[in-house]
Structure 1
């Protein structure tokens, strides 16, 4: 059975406005009547025509003021201080109207009545609205799970206010270690210190802790994240100030902590001059434009205002997605870059030659490759054809059309590879190094780096999915480590390295310290409000199990970025250049002919033998099952 207030809240918006106007007319009339009775100390008094006319004018002006101040557009359940202020303004205008109209019309209204009327009108007009808001708030907040907000600054206050109006979470307390804020109350919510977390956790049983701090240094944020990871509660964050200001996100767009926070890696500010050198006012082509790295390369390139940007991609949907994204960005910011979405395979040299000729391409970023280690291990022929011969086709097209700069996106798995994918990428490097000795017009450079966070093959989204499913979180080996870098940072460093390169150079990006994958898994589980355990060690006290599956075929415990010790610094402190073994073009040409014959005959034993004999450093770490390999494409 509905209460009168619930019936009002559930009524249609038009009906609510009609009810509000009728109530306000009655409230103004009653306020005037009781103001007169209080002043004259009697319930009955003479009313002349002038007094009635004054009351009608006052009532009309009050309703008009409410309309102009948006009071009938406001939703009663969201009634807060700004609306109370508008009621005060309307009542003041109404009282002044009463005083002026009674003076000019010579109505029988004592001079003190407008003041008494103003006080009564504030009560009769404001109290019901505040009561409805209070009843709604206390009734419906019980349906919303409680949350704590860490940070009582402007971001935290905006978040609390928005959550109170919304239907998802109910903020019950602020946490802030600034002594000047402790004990204060903001929008009805008290500020506590982080030392009081356990008390608040027991009292309110919050489901999440929302991190609303954007004005601290990276080091302080990392310290805070490490501290919060030990608290028995899921931690999420609000968007950055930049995203909120630019309109990309709202303060209520609560999300999981940024993967950069989980790993403690601090991105490096790019060198604008290097970013622009091979891009601004030039025609650029990106292969693999729909992939994780390729799409971010396109975004970064697009911001540097190229004359033309050709997106070359084999996957139709991925090409559509990045093209639509960039078209929207272009329209929103009024950019003039000519965008071209081109479907095709990097193995088709004539298709690439036609594109490069038609659009007068000056810079190529070759990101297209098969990069998933187990899949390439099981599909050797396609892996070699795409990664090695696809690179050769792109490079030949670039030479034939006079492309000035050609940059290969390589991988740390190309260093002393234990798998076909890594060996194929090292072969691609050798192809470009050999072509560099032969070509004088096209500047070939290679950029080698480790794993990127958030890519299609990253462990981070996999771990999150496994945690939400209740586990187990799967790690291949307790000692496995990897280098990690954010996709935008990797793309920026690739562009900068390509602008620094001399023909045939291999660049290595500074990936920071390697991260132990099992530690990353534990960190993520803790920040999602649960405790990890490893049953293999006899520990079963926890919520989410970490289970070790064993190394996959071709997988290393540790990745490397350098083949030898011949490394030199560059003008960019995060980019180094390596001097490594390479082949002349004649030797490379013979090697490629043999490799092509092996692929044509679907002979994977032959392919492995060539990779072992070539200066790739390939050393498979598992027994080779040669029979099924021969029939894999």
Structure 2
């Protein structure tokens, strides 16, 4: 009771408990308590106060703040009243007060629950009404009643926002209301609903990736309405994740959160040393964050970029100060350096994310660089993991390795085969590869390019109106990589469930609308397919089948490819020189990866 407010609320509670005792006597005697029973009432008062005070202290009821009272607090209040009533009854019966009406002992807690619960409800109503009378911006919530309910609870007590209506994608919810906020119509009437409610802001409460979000974006852009959404769970942990924010592309294309085997991943990494190559890249840095989250004792970060390593060091030092992290500038094409790092720290798990991945750059002038980094660099990382006794080695592959039409994809397919060949040499290490498509916002991806073009005023360049790609968010990709590393047999290739493919032109349109523009203001132009580029990507080769795994978003690819002679591959790439003949290199690559079909 050190706080005056807590002391006042405790006094109010005990006063209401006594009032409930008096009302119970009053009701027992038909609203007229005989004079001879009044002494019994006064004799029971101190015991009732003591019993309830003890119950409230034990259950922690007096730690509650009345303006935030909800169902959990009311359940705890009910428990404390039951304990107080039981203690009061036990004391009164033990004292054998003559002719004490026992029905009072049953009615008193019921009346107390009504009085104490009602007092809290009235107080919260008054506080919310006072806050609601502030200058908060009026907004309309977009989503079903279930989704809107979650958003309205999050906005309770906010002085910045005032929900005034709901637009639901479910037709049968029209005309209903929740928390006194009415459903004003369907998604097709978003503009009219906002005009009726005098709101210039719409808050999308529908799940990430749902059609309702995309329809809301279209309607909001046409009506000039600002579109917001609630922060993702990971953003609540950050200082800026405390209220509605602008809708981002991940919110429109994102999917349900990945369900991880938390216990298994904690057993694999907790207290262990983990090494990540390409740690400064988009996927590599997210892998480092996830590894830190699962309690690794030591994280060894390897990247060829000094600036990328510096940025990663600054972030992890701030977010995970308890973790020992070591930052190496090293190239996976240097086997001695990589092996020395692995032997020194003896990682239990190695994630190999270092690679060249930009298709057009690797298709012309840099073909041999793709082979040296993606194939030979992968071999060096796999051997270093096997030689140092790592339990797991996970290589990041790509959907472009399936029936590749470009050098980058063919080099990653050859890297998969090299990992499978290396697995036979180191049986104590579990080697797997993980294939997935494009990652939203990763370096070199289409999204940063479109964003830059929009900022310049356009046009946004798309290679072909029918080109499609699979997309997932960086956290989802990294989490599924972790999960795949925990599963399966050595040498297997995992394929991630990438969901439905997205037309790149639709992606461009969404980004234009998210920026607050229309296609008339920011035009889209078509430039034609680039060398080696497909209209669509595949996740499985023609001669492959998949088998399910215990995880719904992971499948295992089964292929009948003959494993290559790793030594012969290395000798040829070393002998190819600094600038090999283009035709010779592609012909050799076709011999190693028969499904590779170059396109001009």
TM-score, normalised with respect to structure 1: 0.65
The aligned counterpart of 1:294 is 284
1:310-334 superposed Cα distances (whole Å, 9 cap, x missing partner): 0101111111111221111123xxx
The aligned counterpart of 1:438 is 425
Q: Classify the secondary structure of the residue corresponding to 1:289.
A: coil
C-alpha displacement of 1:583: 3.6
The aligned counterpart of 1:618 is 596
Whether 1:340 and 2:326 are equivalent positions in the alignment is: yes
User: Are the aligned partners of 1:595 and 1:610 in contact in 2 as well (CA < 8 Å)?
Assistant: no
Which runs of structure 2 are paired with 1:175-574 in the superposition (5 Å)? 179=175, 197-198=190-191, 209-211=201-203, 213=205, 217=207, 222-231=211-220, 232=222, 233=224, 235-240=226-231, 242=233, 245-251=236-242, 254-255=245-246, 257-263=247-253, 265-331=255-321, 335=322, 337-378=323-364, 379-532=366-519, 542-563=520-541, 564-574=543-553
1:433-454 superposed Cα distances (whole Å, 9 cap, x missing partner): 1112232222211111111112
1:49-103 superposed Cα distances (whole Å, 9 cap, x missing partner): xxxxxxxxxxxxxxxxxxxxxxxxxxxxxxxxx9xxxxxxxxxxxxxxxxxxxxx
For the pair shown, which has the larger CA radius of gyration, 1 or 2?
A: 1
Are the structure 2 counterparts of residues 249 and 290 from structure 1 closer, same or farther at C-alpha, using a change threshold of 3 Å? same
Are the structure 2 counterparts of residues 616 and 309 from structure 1 closer, same or farther at C-alpha, using a change threshold of 3 Å? farther
C-alpha displacement of 1:495: 1.1
Distance in 2 between residues matched to 1:584 and 1:527, nearest whole Å: 47
Unaligned runs of 5+ in 2: 1-66, 68-132, 143-150
User: Are the aligned partners of 1:156 and 1:212 in contact in 2 as well (CA < 8 Å)?
Assistant: no
Are the structure 2 counterparts of residues 432 and 597 from structure 1 closer, same or farther at C-alpha, using a change threshold of 3 Å? same
1:501-530 superposed Cα distances (whole Å, 9 cap, x missing partner): 322111111111111112222233344444
C-alpha displacement of 1:291: 0.3
Are the structure 2 counterparts of residues 371 and 147 from structure 1 closer, same or farther at C-alpha, using a change threshold of 3 Å? farther
Distance in 1 between residues matched to 2:160 and 2:558, nearest whole Å: 56
Aligned with 1:578 (options 557, 567, 576): 557
Distance in 1 between residues matched to 2:195 and 2:208, nearest whole Å: 31
Which runs of structure 2 are paired with 1:72-111 in the superposition (5 Å)? none
Q: Classify the secondary structure of the residue corresponding to 2:160.
A: helix
User: Are the aligned partners of 1:150 and 1:156 in contact in 2 as well (CA < 8 Å)?
Assistant: no
Unaligned runs of 5+ in 1: 1-81, 83-132, 164-170, 533-541, 623-633
Are the structure 2 counterparts of residues 191 and 438 from structure 1 closer, same or farther at C-alpha, using a change threshold of 3 Å? closer
User: Are the aligned partners of 2:405 and 2:532 in contact in 1 as well (CA < 8 Å)?
Assistant: yes
Q: Classify the secondary structure of the residue corresponding to 1:211.
A: strand
Distance in 1 between residues matched to 2:480 and 2:505, nearest whole Å: 28
Are the structure 2 counterparts of residues 154 and 469 from structure 1 closer, same or farther at C-alpha, using a change threshold of 3 Å? farther
Are the structure 2 counterparts of residues 234 and 468 from structure 1 closer, same or farther at C-alpha, using a change threshold of 3 Å? farther
Are the structure 2 counterparts of residues 467 and 579 from structure 1 closer, same or farther at C-alpha, using a change threshold of 3 Å? same
Q: Classify the secondary structure of the residue corresponding to 1:572.
A: coil
User: Are the aligned partners of 2:231 and 2:243 in contact in 1 as well (CA < 8 Å)?
Assistant: no
Distance in 1 between residues matched to 2:179 and 2:349, nearest whole Å: 59
The aligned counterpart of 1:18 is none
C-alpha displacement of 1:394: 1.3
